[in-house]
Structure 1
Amino acid sequence: MYRNELRRLFPIKESVFHHLGRYLFQPANPVWNIIERFYRTHLINSDEKVGLQIRLFREEPIPFEDVYNHIMACSEKENLLPKLDHSNHDNSTPIVDKRTSILVLSLSSEFYERIKAMYYEKSTVSGEMVAVYQPTHEREQDSQAKFHNQKALAEMILLSYCDKIITTATSTFGYVAHGLSGSKPWVLRTLNRLMKEPGPACVRSMSVEPCLHSPPILECKANVSIDPTEVEPYLRQCDDAPPMGLKLYDLV
């Protein structure tokens, strides 16, 4: 019924969440205050901002060291984090006029501490200055606490301001951030999935849109289930949550 109207509103299918989110998703002043204070204090003078969102799921417990190595493998392959100078020479690396900020978002502080120490102990190959920040580390998610949710929303928006965004597969936190940003993130594949399907540590998402994990089941009049991707060419399975998840893609 509304197909023609929706086509006129969203000629670019991948822009649906981006435009609706930026138009309708207006946080209250306390949240904007958190965002403004943090951005002005830590990020405003950065030449490049790299956002790293790490979500650990209780149902898939994985040792910290394995997850950390997984992140580093992704960064190394895709050239996402500034490279460290591992040479043993005593000559100092020339400093260049570039400042990179790494924003780590996680309920845990361990990843932030490790990455911060990494850039404290060694210089970068390029000579650029690197600063590592983490706004909060709440340890546990508490969806019933208002201030906890306000801080989470503020961090989603801060992540959306980054030039490069690395997110955790199937994380709705990451979906919102890169959807608001309008950029395609690098998605960390789950280690459990990698054991079943060997491949790269992370992949560049094919779409800006978030993934709908549990889409409604379409049935025709004959009461036969229909694969939506066979009906609408701009619907495809999510690259991080197969086989049930669906997301919008632009036709190439």
Structure 2
Amino acid sequence: MFPDRESVFHLLARYLFHPTNPVWDLITRFHEAYLTGADEKIGLQVRVFDRPGPFQHVLDQILSCTMKENILPQINPKAPRRPALNSSCVWASTRKNKTKVVLITSLSSWYGDKIRDMYLQNPTLTGEVVRVHQPSHEEKQKYEETLHYSKALAEMYLLGMSDRLVTSGCSTFGYVAQGLGGLHSWLMFAPKNRKVPDPPCQRVASMDPCYLLRPADTSKTPLLNYTRSCEDREWGLKLFPAG
């Protein structure tokens, strides 16, 4: 049924997971308002397990990963300021520049605000225009609110519509978004001692989500040739392509 082993979750999720109409309305309205028309859509999923946060080292890791991997463009803080122009001139001078739109999902608004301000206050070295949008910032997980989970599901689907995706390690939210979109994300490893890991992220070899707690005994599993430890969790288990 699944010649491409890593696509099992992707195909099953597409067949079996169907958002309700209110959730799909959230997805389509946000996509049409903020993501449509960009030359490239970048998904950035930020999950921080430490408390209280937010943390500067997490922001540093995000920027180190996205710029090292050429996902987001470098800024040029020393570029000369342009003289003021009328509105028609501004439009004429910027409309040919390529646009990257960044969709950030996080419980905190701080990371998105910092990245948005960075690109508002500084031009990019490549001349690209970077727009940053965040659908929600709930600040904490609200376990008993249906709307909270509706927003979460909508954001997973939106992340899955990205051209390139960056996710946080050991986060089911990021795993599902990656699987829904059939994407090989750049995975940000969990920081230790609140320091940026080296390397800050790694391109995953498989789109399959990580099963965080592997079965007690996998020695007799027929699929063992297609399973390995997860990139971000040694005792986790996931499917990989043959070979």
Contact 2:189 2:197 in 1 (8 A): no
1:75 aligns with: 66
Contact 1:96 1:127 in 2 (8 A): no
**Matches of 1:187 and 1:127, distance apart in 2:** 27
The residue matched to 1:38 in structure 2 has which SS?
helix
2:100 aligns with: 100
Contact 2:54 2:108 in 1 (8 A): no
Larger RCO: 1 or 2 (CA < 8 Å, sep 6+): 2
Please point out which of 12, 37, 41 is paired with 1:20.
12
Contact 1:95 1:129 in 2 (8 A): no
Residue identity over aligned pairs, in percent, reads: 42
Contact 1:229 1:237 in 2 (8 A): no
The residue matched to 1:233 in structure 2 has which SS?
helix
Gap runs ≥5 in structure 2: 84-92
**Matches of 1:90 and 1:193, distance apart in 2:** 39
Deviation at 1:89?
3.5
Deviation at 1:227?
4.4
2:205 aligns with: 206
Answering whether residue 80 of structure 2 is matched by residue 89 of structure 1, we say yes
Deviation at 1:129?
1.7
Deviation at 1:231?
7.2
Answering whether residue 35 of structure 2 is matched by residue 43 of structure 1, we say yes
- Deviation digits for residues 168-205 of structure 1 (CA, Å, limit 9, x no counterpart): 0010000000101101000111111897x963000111
1:221 aligns with: none
Paired residue type of 1:34:
L
- RMSD, matched Cα: 2.4
The residue matched to 1:192 in structure 2 has which SS?
coil
**Matches of 1:228 and 1:118, distance apart in 2:** 52
Contact 2:41 2:100 in 1 (8 A): yes
Deviation at 1:63?
5.7
**Matches of 2:221 and 2:67, distance apart in 1:** 34
1:146 aligns with: 146
Deviation at 1:207?
0.5
Deviation at 1:118?
0.5
Deviation at 1:148?
0.5
Higher mean Cα deviation, 75-84 or 113-122? 75-84
Deviation at 1:62?
6.2
**Matches of 2:74 and 2:27, distance apart in 1:** 28
**Matches of 1:209 and 1:11, distance apart in 2:** 14
**Matches of 1:98 and 1:228, distance apart in 2:** 52
Distance 1:111 1:229, change over 3 A: farther
**Matches of 2:229 and 2:142, distance apart in 1:** 30
Paired residue type of 1:121:
Q
Contact 2:102 2:133 in 1 (8 A): yes
Q: When the two structures are superposed, what TM-score results if normalisation uses the length of structure 1?
A: 0.86
- Deviation digits for residues 72-106 of structure 1 (CA, Å, limit 9, x no counterpart): 11112111112212334346897743211011100
Contact 1:48 1:101 in 2 (8 A): yes
Aligned length: 234
The residue matched to 1:187 in structure 2 has which SS?
strand
Paired residue type of 2:63:
M
Distance 1:122 1:95, change over 3 A: farther
Matches within 5 A, 1:107-118: 107-118=107-118
Paired residue type of 1:213:
L
Deviation at 1:125?
1.5
1:32 aligns with: 24
2:231 aligns with: 239
Gap runs ≥5 in structure 1: 1-8, 219-225
Runs of 4+ in 1 over 3 A off after TM superposition: 60-63, 88-97, 226-231
